[in-house]
Amino acid sequence: MKHSLKTGLCFGMTSGIITTLGLMVGLHAGTHSRLVILGGILTIAIADAFSDALGIHISEEAEGMHTEREIWTSTLSTFVSKFVFALTFVVPVLLFELSMAILVSVAWGLLALSLLSIEIGKDQKGSTWKVVGEHLLIVLVVIAITHYVGEWIATTCGQLL
């Protein structure tokens, strides 16, 4: 796979998993509202996909090593992978009771990130399981922090509203 396409796909997918799960878990802990969580997922899928795509675009331009075609390939593959992957989290929210949907989404995100990490580990010719463990640890930390922040907001700010 070409570097520019791989860059966009890996970045978009990883960002789609971590950002969307963090948002979902935090919103669930703070609101327990299916509507709020669906709105958050759609917002991430649109706004954050554009933001990440522009970030990759500018980063690739700043390197001064890529052709215009390579830059746009990274940009578009980042947008599409982030947008599409973030939207996959809508499915469990629509199909399951909300608490179960969050668990299914976390499992789906961890599985997808594990599979991506295995491929990255193979490419690096190093310890595949070290790469997988490192990536999963990061997403689990994000999930834990956003859960507690959501709870904190609900208890602290809920009294203000």
Total number of domains in the chain? 1
Burial class from Cβ neighbours inside 10 Å (0-12, 13-18, 19+) for residue 87 reads: middle
C-alpha to C-alpha distance for 54 and 65, rounded to whole angstroms: 17
Please indicate, yes or no, if residue 17 is contained in any of the structural domains: yes
Residue 142: predicted pLDDT: 97
Domain that holds residue 90: 3-156
Residue 50: predicted pLDDT: 97
Give the global pTM. Answer: 0.91
Please indicate, yes or no, if residue 50 is contained in any of the structural domains: yes
C-alpha to C-alpha distance for 14 and 10, rounded to whole angstroms: 6
Q: What is the CA radius of gyration of the chain?
A: 17
Please indicate, yes or no, if residue 161 is contained in any of the structural domains: no
- First-last CA distance in the chain: 51
Please indicate, yes or no, if residue 90 is contained in any of the structural domains: yes
Please indicate, yes or no, if residue 91 is contained in any of the structural domains: yes
Residue 11: predicted pLDDT: 93
Please indicate, yes or no, if residue 35 is contained in any of the structural domains: yes
pLDDT tens track of the chain, all 161 residues? 688 899 899 999 999 999 999 999 999 999 999 999 999 999 999 999 999 999 999 999 999 999 999 999 999 999 999 999 999 999 999 999 999 999 999 999 999 999 999 998 888 877 889 999 999 999 999 999 999 999 999 999 876 65
